[in-house]
A and B are shown apart, each in its own frame.
Chain A
């Protein structure tokens, strides 16, 4: 070692430090992923002793299903995008509004912050079950309240028109606290002097929100948007635990791509098709991540 230059020594050390992590990533993540790609080229049944190579047949099937609006796969993709497009903006807007409110008040702000954050530190499976019980068509909390006020009871999770929104509400509810904390941190970064300057210029609160707060929160917004988008794209736990027998119903109105992957792989034993679905999802997430990197590296 002593004959190496300082720089060479550092290179050697870098490799030594990375030895265990890189082995881990290659062994536990990369190789299994490659095998998933490989599986997607086969008619792959986990119970079978030998698997038949079918080329791109699974992808052809996937493409056909995507074009057929009646297929469950098509519905799964549509629903997944719905979760993203409905859930993500609602989550961000609500969290930002609450963060602004918390910024306004002085007393009890710590308490409120803690209350909003609590759902985030609880178990998703438990939360999904609790909400399933809250949504119960007759004796769940919401319907008890509705009858109490003389309003008609709602089916919530049992209706193909309401189920997706009902599940989205739970995801928003659980993730709200996290987004609030991030927004609060972002708001702290905005120098007080900016607002004072705006006030002197005669700008009201509404104007200073649009002209100062929002532009300065841009990085935070993008960061959260991407984070939430990816987590909505991979939605699974809530749906499997909140629908009857985890089927993503009623009428496939709540099913997601990951739930399809799981069902195809483990209920229908069609691993090849399930892998093709995963590859498609991988592609979507990849594109979003690239867009994310582009946005994040830009300066505001």
Chain B
């Protein structure tokens, strides 16, 4: 018994020590803002000021972004309406939204916005699903544009009031792909920013392969040739550097549907979005083109280096198709990567890209209280202005949804963001009824060819049949 209590003592003190460390951490965090001394204050946008801090006995000069303090008359508690905004956790998005909320609250002292972003990306929908039946959750929520039909069907979103958000205004001022938020004759959501796909290339690996680091592939043939030239193998024939891994579960399934199928002369879906058409002979050619990188040319695989995205971030792949949002990731996780971005390769003179966006909708919950609804409308208006789009592009790397801000010359001239912005006029956004299921069909078709030796056209037929079933089920409930 004696030795038992001695051991117990050791364990308890270990954990107490842990607790102590937490307490210390907490104090440091809390103390940080206090040592910040603002040296000068100018109005408008947040600015960078130099601040001297004492860190562990040494004085350190840091550049800190400080937002102008705004004197506001704080109304009595009863007049303040609190609304809740939800999005998933992604550093740059959280920062950008915090900035917008700060500005919004300064202009609207009678509204307080609770910003909930402590949700891991993969679990965002779980949290929404759990909150809805409990009658809590967001008043304004971010959602992938492809979820709009499903959320509308469930009655979770309310249509945007037409007097506040005139459809003509949206059609005129927003990027064409925002049309996809229109469903059953109403707009249900509006984005701050949109994204397109483009081709990333690693300049160092181009140089290593003896290619001109400033001439990325511009058409599909060049893409295939360069991908092979860029792939490096070891003695055993294992890939050491990938020329071009096709990340189907990532963005490449979009590339197939909206870009390759069109470039090979097909059409992914009928114009009314009710019929799957990518399993046409043209579509199958496009599918074979995509498959060849892994099955014929052996230029890489999504299975290596965790996935295609990670491979590019690690400097292990030379070419990568991804969205503009990845620019922010690279800046954070791989700041030394020497890379460039170019518009997606042209195929048979057809230029296309996939456009997508995270959009913001007003929920049923907000509509229950007129004051909350009013505040939510004002908030949604605020975060979808061209100015908000500009704030967003700088923080997140996504393009402003408002054409006015997206057509900005500086943006188009930007070597990294320019190619994405250039894609906006010809971008296509797929009409999804169940985005994750529809992605899975393409992923499974691709996998069944490369892993199980299925016939490409048959695999595609299978995917199309399953997807058609899903679409039929969805449209059966709509006229």
Contacts and interface: CB of A to CB of B under 8 A. Distances in A.
Interface residue SS majority, chain A: loop
A247 B130 contact: no
| A47, A245, A265: most-surrounded residue (chain B CB, <10 A) | A47
Interface stretch (B274-282, B381-389, B447-455): B447-455
Contacts of B42: none
B154 interface: yes
Interface of B: 122, 125-126, 128-130, 132-133, 150-151, 153-156, 236, 238-239, 249, 301, 303-307, 364, 434, 436-437, 440, 443-444, 447-448, 451-452
A207 to B, nearest CB: 43
Given A46-B133, A249-B443, A147 B238 contact: yes
A266 B447 contact: no
A249 B447 contact: yes
A15 to B, nearest CB: 33
Interface of A: 45-50, 136-139, 147, 153, 155, 158-160, 244-247, 249-252, 265-269
A267 to B, nearest CB: 5
A158 B303 contact: yes
| A136, A245, A249, A269: most-surrounded residue (chain B CB, <10 A) | A269
B154 A45 contact: yes
B315 to A, nearest CB: 14
10 contacts: A46-B154, A47-B150, A48-B155, A49-B364, A50-B155, A247-B440, A251-B447, A251-B452, A266-B126, A268-B437
Given A46-B133, A158-B451, 20 more contacts: A45-B153, A46-B130, A46-B132, A46-B154, A47-B151, A47-B155, A48-B154, A49-B155, A50-B155, A136-B306, A137-B304, A138-B304, A244-B249, A244-B307, A247-B440, A250-B447, A250-B451, A266-B125, A268-B436, A269-B150
Given A153-B238, A251-B452, A47 B303 contact: no
Contacts of A159: 451
A245 B122 contact: yes
A250 B449 CA distance: 12
Contacts of A158: 303, 451
A269 B154 contact: yes
Contacts of B249: 244-245, 247
Contacts of A49: 155, 364
Contacts of A244: 249, 307
Contacts of A45: 153-154
Contacts of A153: 236, 238
B303 A160 contact: no
Contact of B444 (A47, A136, A138, A251): A251
B156 A138 contact: no
Nearest to A45: B154
Contacts of A46: 129-130, 132-133, 154
Contacts of A160: 447, 451-452
Nearest to A70: B462
Contacts of B307: 244
A247 B442 CA distance: 13
Nearest to B302: A244
A249 B248 CA distance: 13
B129 A266 contact: yes
Contacts of B236: 147, 153
A288 B451 CA distance: 36
Given A136-B306, A137-B304, A47 B238 contact: no
A21 B128 CA distance: 31
Given A136-B306, A138-B305, A251-B452, A246 B129 contact: no
Given A138-B238, A265-B129, A268-B437, A47 B448 contact: no
A7 to B, nearest CB: 37
Contact of A269 (B129, B239, B447): B129
Nearest to B150: A269
B38 to A, nearest CB: 43
Contacts of A269: 125, 129, 150, 154
A6 B305 CA distance: 72
Contact of A138 (B125, B130, B151, B239): B239
B135 to A, nearest CB: 10
A47 B239 contact: no
Nearest to A150: B236
Contacts of A138: 238-239, 304-305
Contact of A267 (B303, B436, B443): B436
A255 to B, nearest CB: 11
Nearest to A244: B249
A246 B129 CA distance: 18
Contacts of B238: 138, 147, 153
Nearest to A132: B306
A268 B451 CA distance: 26
Nearest to A143: B238
Contacts of B128: 47
- Across the A-B interface, the 3 shortest Cβ-Cβ residue pairs: A47-B154, A47-B156, A158-B303
A32 to B, nearest CB: 12
Contacts of B132: 46-47
A147 to B, nearest CB: 6
Given A153-B238, A267-B125, A268-B437, A252 B151 contact: no
A40 B56 CA distance: 60
A139 B128 CA distance: 37
| A46, A158, A160, A245: most-surrounded residue (chain B CB, <10 A) | A46
Contacts of A252: 444
Contact of A268 (B156, B304, B305, B434): B434
B451 A251 contact: yes
A153 B451 CA distance: 15
A244 B301 CA distance: 13
Nearest to B435: A267
Nearest to A49: B155
Nearest to A262: B126
A139 B451 CA distance: 20
